Protein backbone atom coordinates (compact mmCIF):
# COMPACT_ATOMS: atom_id res chain seq x y z
CA UNK A 1 0.00 0.00 0.00
CA UNK A 2 1.42 3.37 -1.02
CA UNK A 3 0.40 6.65 0.64
CA UNK A 4 -1.59 8.99 -1.60
CA UNK A 5 -0.19 12.11 0.01
CA UNK A 6 2.57 13.37 2.26
CA UNK A 7 2.91 16.13 4.82
CA UNK A 8 5.90 18.08 6.12
CA UNK A 9 5.23 17.84 9.86
CA UNK A 10 3.26 15.73 12.33
CA UNK A 11 3.09 16.03 16.13
CA UNK A 12 6.42 17.83 16.45
CA UNK A 13 8.30 15.65 13.94
CA UNK A 14 9.39 17.25 10.64
CA UNK A 15 10.94 16.02 7.42
CA UNK A 16 14.69 15.79 7.87
CA UNK A 17 14.55 15.44 11.66
CA UNK A 18 17.08 13.10 13.20
CA UNK A 19 15.37 10.47 15.35
CA UNK A 20 16.10 7.37 17.38
CA UNK A 21 13.98 4.40 16.30
CA UNK A 22 13.30 1.53 18.71
CA UNK A 23 11.99 -1.61 17.02
CA UNK A 24 9.53 -4.14 18.46
CA UNK A 25 12.40 -6.06 20.08
CA UNK A 26 13.80 -3.04 21.90
CA UNK A 27 16.78 -2.54 19.59
CA UNK A 28 17.60 1.17 19.14
CA UNK A 29 18.79 2.73 15.90
CA UNK A 30 20.11 6.23 16.42
CA UNK A 31 20.37 9.24 14.11
CA UNK A 32 17.96 8.09 11.42
CA UNK A 33 16.46 10.79 9.23
CA UNK A 34 12.72 11.20 8.58
CA UNK A 35 12.41 11.13 4.78
CA UNK A 36 8.59 11.16 4.48
CA UNK A 37 5.44 11.47 6.57
CA UNK A 38 2.21 10.04 5.16
CA UNK A 39 -0.98 12.09 5.37
CA UNK A 40 -4.25 11.00 7.02
CA UNK A 41 -5.32 8.98 3.97
CA UNK A 42 -2.65 6.36 4.75
CA UNK A 43 -3.59 3.76 7.34
CA UNK A 44 -1.02 1.09 8.10
CA UNK A 45 -1.87 0.40 11.74
CA UNK A 46 -1.16 4.04 12.55
CA UNK A 47 2.37 3.98 11.13
CA UNK A 48 3.03 7.09 9.05
CA UNK A 49 6.76 7.87 9.34
CA UNK A 50 9.34 6.72 6.78
CA UNK A 51 12.98 6.70 7.92
CA UNK A 52 16.25 6.60 6.03
CA UNK A 53 17.20 2.99 6.77
CA UNK A 54 17.49 -0.32 4.93
CA UNK A 55 13.71 -0.78 4.82
CA UNK A 56 12.95 2.89 4.09
CA UNK A 57 9.69 1.85 2.38
CA UNK A 58 8.23 0.38 5.60
CA UNK A 59 6.34 2.91 7.77
CA UNK A 60 7.13 3.41 11.45
CA UNK A 61 4.66 4.30 14.22
CA UNK A 62 5.25 7.54 16.10
CA UNK A 63 5.50 5.64 19.41
CA UNK A 64 8.68 4.00 18.08
CA UNK A 65 10.62 7.23 17.46
CA UNK A 66 11.95 10.10 19.53
CA UNK A 67 14.06 13.11 18.62
CA UNK A 68 17.77 12.35 18.64
CA UNK A 69 20.11 14.48 20.71
CA UNK A 70 21.71 17.11 18.48
CA UNK A 71 25.13 16.47 19.97
CA UNK A 72 25.15 12.94 18.49
CA UNK A 73 24.51 14.19 14.98
CA UNK A 74 27.95 14.92 13.55
CA UNK A 75 28.80 16.32 10.10
CA UNK A 76 29.72 12.94 8.59
CA UNK A 77 26.33 11.49 9.57
CA UNK A 78 24.54 14.51 8.13
CA UNK A 79 26.42 14.23 4.82
CA UNK A 80 25.65 10.51 4.69
CA UNK A 81 21.93 11.01 5.41
CA UNK A 82 21.55 13.71 2.77
CA UNK A 83 23.44 11.71 0.16
CA UNK A 84 21.34 8.61 0.88
CA UNK A 85 18.12 10.62 0.64
CA UNK A 86 19.24 12.01 -2.73
CA UNK A 87 20.16 8.50 -3.89
CA UNK A 88 16.79 7.02 -2.92
CA UNK A 89 14.68 9.79 -4.44
CA UNK A 90 16.81 9.95 -7.60
CA UNK A 91 16.45 6.19 -8.03
CA UNK A 92 12.66 6.58 -8.14
CA UNK A 93 12.33 9.84 -10.07
CA UNK A 94 15.67 10.78 -11.67
CA UNK A 95 17.14 10.32 -15.10
CA UNK A 96 20.17 8.12 -15.87
CA UNK A 97 22.70 10.98 -15.61
CA UNK A 98 21.41 11.96 -12.16
CA UNK A 99 21.41 8.35 -10.96
CA UNK A 100 24.99 7.73 -12.11
CA UNK A 101 26.27 11.04 -10.71
CA UNK A 102 24.73 10.55 -7.28
CA UNK A 103 26.14 6.99 -7.18
CA UNK A 104 29.61 8.44 -7.91
CA UNK A 105 29.18 10.97 -5.11
CA UNK A 106 28.04 8.26 -2.69
CA UNK A 107 30.99 6.07 -3.65
CA UNK A 108 33.46 8.93 -3.09
CA UNK A 109 31.85 9.74 0.24
CA UNK A 110 32.19 6.11 1.36
CA UNK A 111 35.85 5.98 0.27
CA UNK A 112 36.98 9.36 1.62
CA UNK A 113 34.36 10.29 4.22
CA UNK A 114 33.69 13.66 2.58
CA UNK A 115 32.46 15.36 -0.57
CA UNK A 116 33.30 18.77 -2.02
CA UNK A 117 31.04 21.83 -2.31
CA UNK A 118 30.03 21.21 -5.94
CA UNK A 119 29.03 17.62 -5.09
CA UNK A 120 27.03 18.85 -2.07
CA UNK A 121 25.31 21.41 -4.30
CA UNK A 122 24.41 18.73 -6.88
CA UNK A 123 23.13 16.42 -4.16
CA UNK A 124 21.11 19.16 -2.45
CA UNK A 125 19.59 20.20 -5.78
CA UNK A 126 18.40 16.62 -6.36
CA UNK A 127 16.91 16.47 -2.87
CA UNK A 128 15.07 19.74 -3.50
CA UNK A 129 13.92 18.61 -6.94
CA UNK A 130 12.65 15.19 -5.90
CA UNK A 131 11.49 15.84 -2.32
CA UNK A 132 8.94 18.27 -3.74
CA UNK A 133 7.48 15.34 -5.73
CA UNK A 134 6.65 13.39 -2.61
CA UNK A 135 5.64 16.25 -0.35
Question: What is the mean pLDDT for each group of 10 consecutive residues in the chain (135 residues)?
Answer: 72 88 90 86 81 87 85 53 65 76 81 84 77 48
- Number of structural domains in the chain: 2
Q: Is residue 105 part of a domain?
A: yes
Asked if residue 20 lies in contact with residue 72, where contact means CB atoms within 8 angstroms, the answer is no
- For residue 70, the model assigns a pLDDT of 57
Of 24, 43, 72, the domain-final residue = 72
CA-closest candidate to residue 5, choices 33, 42, 32, 30: 42
Q: Strand ranges (DSSP E) for 2-111?
A: 6-7, 9-10, 13-14, 18-22, 28-38, 47-51, 60-61, 65-67
pLDDT of residue 21: 93
User: Which among 72, 87, 111 is the end of a domain?
Assistant: 72
Residues 43 and 10 in one domain: yes
Residue 114 sits in the same domain as residue 66: no
- Tens digit of pLDDT for each residue in 93-113? 677 888 788 788 878 877 887
Q: Residue 55: which domain range?
A: 6-72
Same structural domain, 85 and 56: no
Q: Are 55 and 68 in a shared domain? A: yes
Cα–Cα distance between 64 and 72 in angstroms, integer? 19
Same domain, 85 and 129: yes
Amino acid sequence: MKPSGYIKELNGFKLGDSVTFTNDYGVRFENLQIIAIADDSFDFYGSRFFLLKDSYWFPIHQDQIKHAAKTQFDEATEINNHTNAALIHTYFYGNNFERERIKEIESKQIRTGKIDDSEKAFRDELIKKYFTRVI
